[in-house]
Chains A and B, each alone.
Chain A
Amino acid sequence: MKQAILVEGLRKTFGRREVLHGIDFSVEPGSVFGVIGPNGAGKTTTMRCLLDIIRPNGGHIQVLGEDPRHAGPELRRRIGYLPGELFLEQRITGRRLLDHYAAISGPVKPGRIDELAERLDLDLDRHTRKLSKGNKQKLGLVQAFMHSPELLVLDEPTSGLDPLVQQEFLAMVREARDNGQTVFLSSHVLSEVQQAADEVAILRDGKIVTVATVDALRETALRHLRLAATGITADDAGALLGRVPGVGALEVLKAGDGVEVSAVLEGDIQPLVQALSTLQLTHLVLEEPDLEESVLKLYGMTGNGKRNGNGQRALEVTKGAGNE
C-alpha cells in the first residue's frame, strides 16, 4: 500500500509571511507519526492543509492516496481530526454534539461512543460549554476516534488531559495502530509523543529539522550524570572524565577528601563505565536518556547541561509519563 500521508515541498504563506517553507515527509500506513516543534513552528498549519481547511501555496499533498484539495467530503469521512484549539460553546449535551458529528462523518458503530466516553471518563449528558478544558478535549478525542477512521490527525491531543487519561489516550493510539489505522499527531513536547510514535518529525520555523525514529533519537540523546568519589583530586577527576568520548558540560567540585561531579553523556556508555571503574565511587546516578533536551538542542533553544531551564522541567515530565 502507498503511504497514508505524503507531503512534498509543502509551502504556505499568510499574507507576506511564509510559515511553511517546503516541507517533505511521509507516513506509512498503520504507523504512528509524531510531529513536534515549538509553538508557531507550523504543526497546526500542516495539519489544516491535510484536511483542506487551508490551502497550500505550493507543493503536493496526498492523504490516503488522494489530493485533499479535490477529494471532497468522501476523503474527510475516512479521517478523524482533533483541532489544536477546541471550542465547544454550544448549549447542547456532549451526546447530541457527537450525534451531529456522527451524522456528518463516517458511520459510527452502536455503543462505540459510550465505550470511548467510559474509557476517558467523560460525562456525555452535560452541556458542552460547561465542560472543563480537559473534558472538552476528551469530547474532541471521542469525536475523532468514534468512526474508527483510517487516518487520525490529532493536533496536541493530550493538552489539558490529566496523566491517567493521557495513558488511556496512548492505549487508544496503540489500539488504533494495531487495527491498521494510521495516526498523525503533534505536540510541542516530545514526552507526549515518544511513547506513542514510531517516527518523529521535528519541525522548526516552518522547516523539518529532522525525521527520525524514537529509538534513533534516543541514541543521540543526552544522559545526565552525577557522581561522588573519594581519594581523588578535582583536577585528576576532571582530566579522567574529560577524556571519555561523549562527556560534556563537566563540573567538578571538591567535597571533603573527594569530588562531586556532574556532566552529560552523549552516545555510548561503555567508555564511561570503564573510566568510572578506576574510581572509588560513593554515589552514582546515570539518568534515562533525556530526549527532551536533545530535541531542544535541535530546536536550538538551549545549551547542554543547563539543569534549571526548560530541559529540566521537561525531563521530569518525561520521567513522570514513563511510569506506566
Chain B
Amino acid sequence: MNRKLPLFRRAFLDPWRSTLGWAAGLAAAIALYLPLFPSIGGSSQMQGMINALPPEMTKALNYDQITTGTGYTQATVFGLIGFLLMTIATVSWGAAAVAGDEESGQLELTLAHGVTRIQVALERALAMALRVVLLAVLVHVLILSLNESAHLKINPQNLFGATVMFAGLALLSGTGALFAGALTGRKAYGLAAGTAIGVLGYVFNAVGRQSSDLNWLLNLSPYHWAYGNSPVTNGADWAAAGWLWGISAGLVLLSAVALQRRDVGA
C-alpha cells in the first residue's frame, strides 16, 4: 500500500486505449460537423429546408434552432452524435466496471485481496467519472477552438454549462449501468439499464415536445433536464445539473451498497 487508490489507478489508466479511442471518435465527429455550419446551418436554403420538414420531426431532432451557431452545436454535437458516443462509452464502462469484471471471473480475485467492496465500487466509479470529465474537457476545448472559424458565436460560459450537462447526462447512463450491474452481477442487465436511461430519455424528450398533453414525459427525461433550455444558447440550468450529477452520485453509492450485500460470482 505504498501508493494511493490502486483500484482507481488501474481502472483509469489501464484502459487508456479505449479512452483514447472514444476521444478520437468525439474529435472526429466535432471536426466533421462544426466546420460545416457556415455552409449548411447558416444558409438560407437550410432554413427553407427546415421549414419544409414536418414540425414534429424538427422538434424530435431538436432542429428548431439549427440555423444559429449555438442551436446547430446544441442539436448536432451535444444533442445527437456527441450524446450518442458518450452514452455508448459510459454504458459500456459502467456495465464492465463491476458486472463485466465479475462475469469474466476477475472480480473474485480482486475481492480476495485487501480491499473492501465499497472501495472497489467507489474507485471504479471515480475512474469512470474522470474519464467522462476528460472527454468532456476535450469536447469543450475542441468546440471553443472552432467557435471563431465556424462562425458559431457561442458564449464560452454557456459552452461550459452545456459541457457540464453533456458530461452529467452521459454519466447518469454510466452510473445506471454500474448500479444494475453491481446489483445483479450481470453485465447484460447493466448494459440494458444504462441504454434504457439514454434511449428512453431521448425518446421521452422527442415525444414530450410534440404536444402539451405529453409534456409530462419531459419530466422523466434526463435528456430534457440537461438540454431542455438549450444550454449552448441560454446557459446551463444549474439546478438540473445538480440533479444529473447528484443522481449519479446516489447511484454510485447504491452500487457500493448493492455489491457489499451479495455473493460474488455465484
Residues of chain A within 8 A of B263, CB atoms compared: 48, 53-55
Residues of chain B within 8 A of A87, CB atoms compared: 104-106
CB distance from A131 to the nearest CB of B (A): 14
Residues of chain A within 8 A of B250, CB atoms compared: none
Residues of chain B within 8 A of A1, CB atoms compared: none
> When each residue 74-112 of chain A gets 1 if its CB lies under 8 Å from chain B and 0 otherwise, what string results?
101101010101111111100000001101111100000
Contact between chains at B114 and A105 (CB < 8 Å) = yes
A79–B10 Cα gap in the complex (Å)? 22
Residues of chain B within 8 A of A79, CB atoms compared: 112
B264 contacts A by Cβ under 8 Å = yes
CB distance from A67 to the nearest CB of B (A): 15
Contact between chains at A92 and B14 (CB < 8 Å) = yes
> When each residue 106-119 of chain B gets 1 if its CB lies under 8 Å from chain A and 0 otherwise, what string results?
10111111111000
A74–B2 Cα gap in the complex (Å)? 15
Contact between chains at B114 and A104 (CB < 8 Å) = yes
* Contacts of A150-170 to chain B: CB distance below 8 A: none
Among candidates A14, A76, A86, residue contacting B113 with C-beta atoms closer than 8 Å: A76
Residues of chain B within 8 A of A51, CB atoms compared: 111-112
* Contacts of B181-204 to chain A: CB distance below 8 A: none
Residues of chain A within 8 A of B17, CB atoms compared: 91
Contact between chains at B108 and A53 (CB < 8 Å) = yes
* Contacts of A37-75 to chain B: CB distance below 8 A: 48, 51-55, 72-74
With A54-B266, A100-B6, A103-B6 in contact, do A89 and B113 touch (Cβ < 8 Å)? no
Contact between chains at A83 and B108 (CB < 8 Å) = yes
> Chain A: interface residue count, which band?
20 to 34
B242 contacts A by Cβ under 8 Å = no
Residues of chain B within 8 A of A72, CB atoms compared: 116
CB distance from A184 to the nearest CB of B (A): 13
Contact between chains at A105 and B113 (CB < 8 Å) = yes
Contact between chains at B10 and A53 (CB < 8 Å) = no
Residue of B nearest to A52 (CB): B111
Contact between chains at B265 and A48 (CB < 8 Å) = yes
With A87-B105, A100-B6 in contact, do A53 and B114 touch (Cβ < 8 Å)? no
Residue of B nearest to A106 (CB): B114
A65–B8 Cα gap in the complex (Å)? 31
CB distance from A238 to the nearest CB of B (A): 54
A89–B106 Cα gap in the complex (Å)? 9
Contact between chains at B266 and A104 (CB < 8 Å) = no
Chain B: interface residue total (CB-CB under 8 A):
24
A37–B265 Cα gap in the complex (Å)? 21
Contact between chains at B109 and A81 (CB < 8 Å) = yes
Contact between chains at B108 and A89 (CB < 8 Å) = no
Contact between chains at A101 and B106 (CB < 8 Å) = no
Contact between chains at A85 and B105 (CB < 8 Å) = yes
Residues of chain A within 8 A of B265, CB atoms compared: 48, 53-54
A85–B108 Cα gap in the complex (Å)? 10
Residues of chain A within 8 A of B115, CB atoms compared: 73, 76, 104
A273–B32 Cα gap in the complex (Å)? 92
Residue of A nearest to B265 (CB): A53
Contact between chains at A77 and B116 (CB < 8 Å) = no
* Contacts of A101-126 to chain B: CB distance below 8 A: 101, 103-107
CB distance from A149 to the nearest CB of B (A): 10
B207 contacts A by Cβ under 8 Å = no
Residues of chain B within 8 A of A77, CB atoms compared: 113-114
CB distance from B223 to the nearest CB of A (A): 34
CB distance from B6 to the nearest CB of A (A): 4
Residue of A nearest to B263 (CB): A54
Residues of chain A within 8 A of B113, CB atoms compared: 73, 76-77, 81, 101, 104-105
> When each residue 69-98 of chain B gets 1 if its CB lies under 8 Å from chain A and 0 otherwise, what string results?
000000000000000000000000000000
Contact between chains at B104 and A89 (CB < 8 Å) = yes
A160–B263 Cα gap in the complex (Å)? 27
- In this complex, which of B10, B104, B113, B265 has the most chain A Cβ atoms within 10 angstroms of its Cβ? B113
CB distance from B237 to the nearest CB of A (A): 41
With A54-B263, A54-B265, A76-B113 in contact, do A103 and B1 touch (Cβ < 8 Å)? yes
A85–B265 Cα gap in the complex (Å)? 11
* Contacts of A124-149 to chain B: CB distance below 8 A: 140, 143
Contact between chains at B264 and A54 (CB < 8 Å) = yes
Residues of chain B within 8 A of A89, CB atoms compared: 104, 106
Residues of chain A within 8 A of B1, CB atoms compared: 103-104, 107
- In this complex, which of A48, A53, A77 has the most chain B Cβ atoms within 10 angstroms of its Cβ? A53
Contact between chains at A86 and B3 (CB < 8 Å) = no
Contact between chains at A104 and B105 (CB < 8 Å) = no
Among candidates A14, A55, A74, residue contacting B114 with C-beta atoms closer than 8 Å: A74
- In this complex, which of A73, A92, A104, A105 has the most chain B Cβ atoms within 10 angstroms of its Cβ? A104
Can you add 11 more A-B contacts, CB < 8 Å, to A53-B112, A89-B104, A104-B110? A14-B266, A48-B108, A48-B265, A52-B111, A73-B113, A73-B116, A83-B109, A85-B105, A100-B6, A104-B6, A104-B113
List residues of B whose CB falls within 8 A of some A CB.
Answer: 1-3, 6-7, 10, 14, 17, 104-106, 108-116, 263-266
CB-defined A-B contacts under 8 Å, sample of 15: A14-B266, A53-B111, A55-B263, A73-B113, A76-B112, A77-B114, A83-B108, A85-B105, A86-B105, A86-B109, A88-B106, A90-B14, A103-B2, A103-B6, A104-B113
8 nearest A-B residue pairs (beta carbon): A54-B263, A77-B114, A87-B105, A103-B6, A81-B112, A73-B114, A104-B113, A105-B113
